[in-house]
Amino acid sequence: MGFRAYSEGMEFRYLGNSGLKISEIIYGNWLTHGSQVENDVATQCVRAALEAGITTFDTADAYANTAAESVLGAALASERRASLEIFTKVYWPTGPRGHNDSGLSRKHIMESIDGSLTRLGTDYVDLYQAHRFDHETPIEETMQAFADVVRAGKALYIGVSEWNADQLRAGRALARDLGIQLISNQPQYSMLWRVIEQEVIPTSEELGISQIVWSPVAQGVLTGKYKPGAELPAGSRATDEKGGASAIKGFMRDDVLEGVQKLQPIADEVGITMAQLAIAWVLANPNVAGAIVGASRPEQVVSNAQAAGVTLDATVLARIDEALGGLAETDPTKTVSPESRPS
């Protein structure tokens, strides 16, 4: 394995109440690797992330039906493993989508971790995450399986994604009893999607759980590239029928797009791009340990990584709130997991 001297420009934060440090900017490959972006470009994006000082990489077995893990593993194969933090997840259907190929049962967790490690080309992941809450599996079964994964040395820490405050409290209590560390939650969070602020964040602060947030740029809407009433940019996520268009449609309203345009003067005055402003905004929340960014081109990674260490003062934060008015979604009940196991 090669040795890389990581960029001094990156900032690092502790993840939850643990000694694990992660890069403020996390490279994620949800809608890109193995699907939207060709493998050689995906590898270039990973290389650009490493050069920018990003050490933390987030994926999931369900992304591109396991292909995203394989692409990421190949791209990181020459790196010193101890210098990286590799995260993956389990819950959504994988493989042939059989009756036990989803959820958080002991069977699915124990089989999924082995598949993920093989595809990622590593003996362990730093963080293994429940990709949603499984209402059809007793949480005691799920947490016992996670504890066994940790004790087997296949994961160092446990996290969850899009769990509500009550679920976090129950999971954290069981983890403590089992002697393992549940240190993170991975929710959607941005200037336009603030549903975790009322309940999830206060509970997480109490429990020693950090947020590692996805979609800080609201699927690209907060870059300002989508103009109200204008034709969609060719090749943009809003035109991607493989999943990007459905993920972004909730933000593609004229009132939202008009509000976003008011952020441009603020970004200009701070001296950063609108995407960097959006990423710096989520990092301004002390409960956020890292912001997950994706990319379809290496130069996007480089630009997004420059949001690390950017401080937005109270005046700028107030101006952002004023520009977006009541456009942000704040309803805590929007943090939900499927009532039945997906198939």
Catalytic residues, by residue number, are 63
Outline where the chain has alpha helix (H).
39-51, 67-76, 106-120, 139-151, 165-178, 200-207, 244-248, 254-261, 264-270, 274-283, 298-305, 314-324
**For strand 25-28 and strand 155-160, is the pairing parallel, antiparallel, or unpaired?**
unpaired
Which residues, other chains included, contact 81 with Cβ-Cβ below 8 Å and sequence gap of 6+? 1, 122
Chain CA centroid to CA 127, Å: 12
Which residues, other chains included, contact 194 with Cβ-Cβ below 8 Å and sequence gap of 6+? 328, 329, 330
**Phi/psi of residue 113, nearest 5 degrees:** -60, -40
Q: Which residues pair with 291 in a beta bridge?
A: 25, 213
> Token match 């969609």: residue?
232
**For strand 12-14 and strand 21-23, is the pairing parallel, antiparallel, or unpaired?**
antiparallel
CB 43 within 8 A of CB 51: no
DSSP structural state of residue 165: H
CA distance 102 to 278: 33
What is the secondary structure of 56-124 as a DSSP string? EEE--TTGGGGHHHHHHHHHHTTS-GGG-EEEEEE-S--TT--TTSSSS-HHHHHHHHHHHHHHHT-S-
3-state class of 162 per DSSP? Answer: coil
CA distance 188 to 6: 28
